Amino acid sequence: MSLKAGIVGLPNVGKSTLFNAITKKNILAANYPFATIDPNVGVVTVPDSRLAFLEELYLPKNTVPTTFEFTDIAGLVQGASKGEGLGNKFLSHIREVDAIVEVVRCFIDENIIHVSGNVDPIRDIEIINVELVLSDLEIIENRLEKITKKAATTKEKETILEFETLSKCKNALEKNIPIRNIELTEEEKLIIKNFSFITAKPMIYVANVNEEDAVLGENKYVKMVREYAEKEQASVITMCAKMESELSELEESEKKAFLEEIGITYSGLDKLIFATYDLLGLETFFTVGKDECRAWTFQKGMNAKKCAGLIHSDIERGFIKAEIMKYNDLEELKDEKKVQENGKLYIEGKDYLMQDGDIVYFRFNV
């Protein structure tokens, strides 16, 4: 599954520095607005100790972790929805992602210019969020202009439902309520899906702090972001983008040793990847063998047949059954035969709902 999150924020909040850490790519991270003109896309691996265990057990020729895309989108400014800065272009890029990671500056550094003159995370969040709301409102108003008359005179259920759904969204947006926080029926969700509304996308706030606060704890700015996010039922990840960028240059063993030394289990970057993965309702199943051990991303609630299609459409088309071991069982017994002898190899049909950590062999015939 190709899934991606878009990194947004005001200029000079640390977006490109964070993106450097995420992808280990050396994109331009300049100290002035609009240093990032085209959206940069990077693929990251999702940290998973289970895959390391499977690799050690099977000694495959190839090991393939599951991946996730992050897109660095240029800094938005007030008036972006009306074309200020490089606004409209980048708002269209945000529509193409599955989740939004909004970076918020929560540190003071006189050497790094703030586009608004001083540090105020709530003001910064609201500048971005208002632009996203206005952008969605414009799309809704344009569409309602086209269908209002027809909705008033027709008996077509689809047109009436679209009119009512968009009107419901419009009313919420005018109160500064994002679409993701509106209660919608399954039918209404299908209606809005076609519009790729930005405020319908799930969001995580990244509170970008300095090195000291990343180690010692949160500062007053982070607390403000958390209080704001709670009202939106959004998550907050605290990290120091500068530190993460420096960590990304280290070998894995050096990185681990450094984190242990400062008393941190996971880097901020790992936490962000985990949180984004969870935000989108993603889980992992595995295929194993001497040729390859591989992690596959799937959406919670997908059945075995649909998951087979993630590997190849022929496997989905000719699906017969799925032979499944649970990761915890294999980790405990450390041998496939012992798993089978203990009655823990399960034969499942096409409607079986895949679970996180399933190790699967699909049987098929085409």
Per-residue pLDDT of the chain (366 residues; tens, 9 = 90+): 667 888 888 887 888 888 888 776 444 444 433 334 355 778 888 888 999 999 999 999 999 998 888 888 765 555 544 544 444 555 777 888 899 999 999 988 776 656 666 789 999 999 888 888 998 999 999 999 999 998 888 888 999 999 999 999 999 999 999 999 999 999 999 999 989 999 999 999 999 998 888 887 789 999 999 999 998 888 999 988 888 888 888 887 888 888 888 777 778 888 888 888 888 899 999 999 999 999 999 999 999 999 999 999 999 999 999 999 999 999 999 999 999 999 999 999 999 999 999 999 999 998
Beta bridge partners of 105: 208
Q: Say how many C-beta atoms besides its own lie within 10 A of residue 216's C-beta.
A: 11
Distance of alpha carbon 273 from alpha carbon 42, whole angstroms: 13
* CA 144 and chain centroid, separation: 30
3-state per-residue secondary structure call for 45-63? ECCCHHHHHHHHHHCCCEE
Distance of alpha carbon 349 from alpha carbon 293, whole angstroms: 23
SS3 100: strand
Tell me which residue has tokens 């890029």. Answer: 93
Checking phi first, is residue 238 left (phi over 0); if not, alpha (psi -120 to 50) or beta?
Answer: beta
Residue 182 DSSP symbol: S
Residue 333: exposure state from Cβ atoms within 10 A (0-12, 13-18, ≥19): middle
Range list of H helices, 120-203: 121-153, 157-174, 186-193
Distance of alpha carbon 66 from alpha carbon 277, whole angstroms: 11
| Sequence-ordered strand ranges (E) for 18-93 | 40-45, 62-64, 67-72
SS3 340: helix
C-alpha closest to that of 70 among 28, 19, 1? 19
C-alpha closest to that of 95 among 191, 203, 201, 234? 201
C-alpha closest to that of 308 among 234, 363, 244? 363
Per the CB < 8 A criterion, the answer to whether 56 and 331 are in contact is no
Distance of alpha carbon 142 from alpha carbon 140, whole angstroms: 5
The contacts of residue 355 (CB under 8 Å, 6+ apart) are: 283, 285, 326
The contacts of residue 100 (CB under 8 Å, 6+ apart) are: 5, 6, 8, 94, 198, 201, 202, 203, 204
Tell me which residue has tokens 């990761």. Answer: 327
Distance of alpha carbon 139 from alpha carbon 197, whole angstroms: 9
Distance of alpha carbon 60 from alpha carbon 54, whole angstroms: 9
- Cα maximum dimension of the chain: 70
Helix/strand/coil percentages in the chain, nearest 5: 45, 20, 35
Whole-number pLDDT of residue 266: 79
| Angle formed by the axes of helices 220-232 and 121-153, nearest 10° | 20
Per the CB < 8 A criterion, the answer to whether 237 and 273 are in contact is no
Whole-number pLDDT of residue 249: 82
Q: Say how many C-beta atoms besides its own lie within 10 A of residue 149's C-beta.
A: 10
Instruction: Please name the amino acid found at residue 268.
Output: G
